[in-house]
Structure 1
Amino acid sequence: MRLPPLNPLRVFEVVARTHSLTAAAAELHVTQSAVSRQIAVLENYLGVELITREHRGVALTRKGEAYARHIKPALGAIADATDLTMRDTTQGALRVITYTTFAGKWLVPRLHDFKRLHPNIEIKVSTSVSTVDFDHDQADVAVQYGDGQWPRLQADLLFEDEFEPICSPHYLERADRHLDRTEDLLRHRLLVSHYRRADWEDWLSATGLTACAQSAERMTFSTSLLTWQAAMDGLGLAIGQTALLHSELAAGLIVRPFHRPVRRTKGHYLIRPKVQRESRKVRAFRDWLLAGTREAREAMSRQ
């Protein structure tokens, strides 16, 4: 494919349309001499004269007219494709992909606040446990779990991954009647989330309590939401991500019987492509989300 230098081509299209170096310079926000230089570059590349200078402007040569007639539809198609590509990322609904747990426990309960601040921004939330692929997934931003190091992506930390056992107050009160020490709770039923099934072993190992739970019954659920609901309903002990359970802890629906949180080096991040025009809707959502998660972290630190 043989293509001429594109900037001179764009300059020639404007000159051919306006029949004036002065008008072309004004439209392109450059000097008239810069327009002349670009036309000369194109003529030298093609080896033909495209315009002739006249007293009242410029005229196209026969070859210049034919060339302009052929390139105009091509440049129009490029302009249309560019507009469509940019409109896809800057206009329309803000598309967010996240985990069901984050959506259910943090994002959705607070979306009314975002809509109050930005009533004209439509939001579409979808959930997935797979790693987002912005080349194929219909998403402007995503909330993902990881170490913050994703190629080609910008990442803002929302919450560090801090977790510890939780249960309902009634369950703890009932169990306390028969326990000599809090660690004996670990001999009873442990509730396990399928996608975070390593949490129990990691917490037990970090706190030196692995031996206490060796004989415990395990009950597994497909999601953390179901696991935490089972804990609130008094079925046993679950591992909770404290950042996502702030409301339940504040309301007394669940308690932390051990008060021994364990923190990983990973966390939840807001991610988006590095090479992306930062639209108003993305900027507004990012600022709102970072402010909200910062406030939540500060509130948790005071508990």
Structure 2
Amino acid sequence: MKIPPLNPLKVFEVVARTHNLTTAANELLVSQSAVSRQIAVLEEYLGVQLFTRERVGVRLTDVGEVYAQRIGPAFEEISQATQFITQKYSDNVIRLRTYTTLTARWLIPRLPRFKVQYPDVEVDIANSSAPLDFGTEKCDLAIVFGEGHWPDADATLLLEDVIEPVCSPAFLEAAHGGLRLPEALHGKRLLVSKYRKNDWPTWLAHAGLDGVYDKAEKMIFSSSILTWQAAMDGLGIAIGQQHMLDADIRAGRLVRPFASPLRTGKGHYIVTPSLQRYSSKIASFKDWLLHEAQETPAPATA
């Protein structure tokens, strides 16, 4: 692949387009003599004359005309590609990728406060549970559940993952003998979220009840939101993520029968590409998210 020096090539493109050395120099923010030197470098590299001087401006030679027609579209393509990459950092839209549960239970109730602080900034939210890949996704940042490690990305902990059983007050009251101890889960219907199906076995192992899950009657739902709604309606007992259910617990829609939370070692992280052009809007949004997380009530303890 034979490619001439790129700086002289860019100078040639501007002179060929403007037909004037002075105009080209002004566009390139250099002197006219610097433009002439770069053209000379390119002509020496190619071994041909690209311009002839006229009384007013310059004129492309026949070979220069052909060369300009071939490289002009290439520079236009480079310009459009660069604009596509950088545009998202100059507009007033923040493109956030997260997932439905966190969006509905934690983020949306807080977004009005962000709009008060930044009324001109839009937050475009895309929900997905697919593996994160900034190379293919059009997002500025993501909130992802995991252990904090993603390739080619920087991660900052937003919310620690803390789980424990929750149920409705009516279910607790109706439970034969109450639900004072985890052993009372024997014979109770367990409500399970498809995407958090390991939460029950993990918590039961923590409580020393490894065999309960396999023997229990289970009702499986496609999302955590549906699972918690089923718990509020008295269908059984679910595993709750404390940060997502704080409002429901404070309002009395759900209760913590055992008051035995478990930190899973995972969390919800703010994830950004390792190589990302600085953007004040993204930095402000990230700082706002972290501030809101600090204002979120600390996980309850036993």
Q: TM-score, normalised by structure 2?
A: 0.82
1:197 shift after superposition: 1.0
Tell me how large the CA RMSD over aligned residues is.
Answer: 3.2
The match for 1:300 is 298
Q: Which moved more, 1:61-70 or 1:189-198?
A: 61-70
Taking the TM superposition and a 5 Å limit, the aligned residue runs for 1:145-294 are: 145-175=145-175, 178-179=177-178, 181-187=180-186, 188-211=188-211, 215-294=215-294
Q: Report whether the alignment pairs 1:98 with 2:98.
A: yes
Per-residue CA deviations over 1:175-216 (Å, capped at 9, x if unaligned) read 3x6148422331122211111111111111123232566653
Per-residue CA deviations over 1:233-282 (Å, capped at 9, x if unaligned) read 22222111111112122222222222222222322122233333344443
The match for 2:129 is 129
- The answer to whether the Cα contact below 8 Å between 2:201 and 2:213 also exists between their aligned partners in 1 is no
Q: Find the aligned partners of 1:214 and 1:241 in 2 and give their Cα distance.
A: 22
1:142 shift after superposition: 2.4
Percent sequence identity over aligned pairs: 48
Q: Which moved more, 1:162-171 or 1:44-53?
A: 44-53
Q: Which amino acid aligns with 1:221?
A: F
Per-residue CA deviations over 1:46-71 (Å, capped at 9, x if unaligned) read 123446899x9985673685344654
Q: Which moved more, 1:165-174 or 1:98-107?
A: 165-174
Per-residue CA deviations over 1:66-107 (Å, capped at 9, x if unaligned) read 344654443233223322342256436433332211111011
- Assess, with a 3 A threshold, how the Cα gap between structure 1 residues 19 and 213 changes in structure 2: closer, same or farther: closer
The match for 2:110 is 110
Q: Which amino acid aligns with 1:300?
A: A
1:290 shift after superposition: 2.1
Q: Which moved more, 1:138-147 or 1:157-166?
A: 138-147
- The answer to whether the Cα contact below 8 Å between 1:20 and 1:57 also exists between their aligned partners in 2 is no
The match for 1:47 is 47
Partner SS, residue 254 of structure 2: coil
Q: Find the aligned partners of 2:190 and 2:88 in 1 and give their Cα distance.
A: 47
Q: TM-score, normalised by structure 1?
A: 0.81
1:27 shift after superposition: 4.3
Q: Which amino acid aligns with 1:223?
A: S
- Assess, with a 3 A threshold, how the Cα gap between structure 1 residues 302 and 230 changes in structure 2: closer, same or farther: closer
- The answer to whether the Cα contact below 8 Å between 1:167 and 1:238 also exists between their aligned partners in 2 is yes
- The answer to whether the Cα contact below 8 Å between 1:164 and 1:203 also exists between their aligned partners in 2 is yes
Q: Which moved more, 1:247-256 or 1:103-112?
A: 247-256
Q: Which moved more, 1:62-71 or 1:4-13?
A: 62-71
- Assess, with a 3 A threshold, how the Cα gap between structure 1 residues 211 and 9 changes in structure 2: closer, same or farther: same
- The answer to whether the Cα contact below 8 Å between 1:90 and 1:277 also exists between their aligned partners in 2 is no
Q: Find the aligned partners of 1:152 and 1:164 in 2 and give their Cα distance.
A: 33
- Assess, with a 3 A threshold, how the Cα gap between structure 1 residues 124 and 52 changes in structure 2: closer, same or farther: same
- Assess, with a 3 A threshold, how the Cα gap between structure 1 residues 96 and 182 changes in structure 2: closer, same or farther: same
Q: Find the aligned partners of 1:153 and 1:138 in 2 and give their Cα distance.
A: 15
Structure 1 runs not aligned, ≥5 long: none
Q: Find the aligned partners of 1:72 and 1:233 in 2 and give their Cα distance.
A: 67
Q: Find the aligned partners of 1:205 and 1:74 in 2 and give their Cα distance.
A: 62
Q: Report whether the alignment pairs 1:62 with 2:43.
A: no
Partner SS, residue 110 of structure 2: helix
Per-residue CA deviations over 1:147-184 (Å, capped at 9, x if unaligned) read 22211223222112221111223322333x61484223
Q: Find the aligned partners of 1:250 and 1:57 in 2 and give their Cα distance.
A: 80
Q: Find the aligned partners of 1:180 and 1:226 in 2 and give their Cα distance.
A: 23
Q: Which amino acid aligns with 1:150?
A: W
Partner SS, residue 109 of structure 1: coil
Which is richer in helix? 1
Partner SS, residue 245 of structure 1: helix
Q: Find the aligned partners of 1:302 and 1:185 in 2 and give their Cα distance.
A: 21
Q: Which moved more, 1:127-136 or 1:28-37?
A: 28-37
| Matched residue count | 298
Q: Find the aligned partners of 2:211 and 2:81 in 1 and give their Cα distance.
A: 63
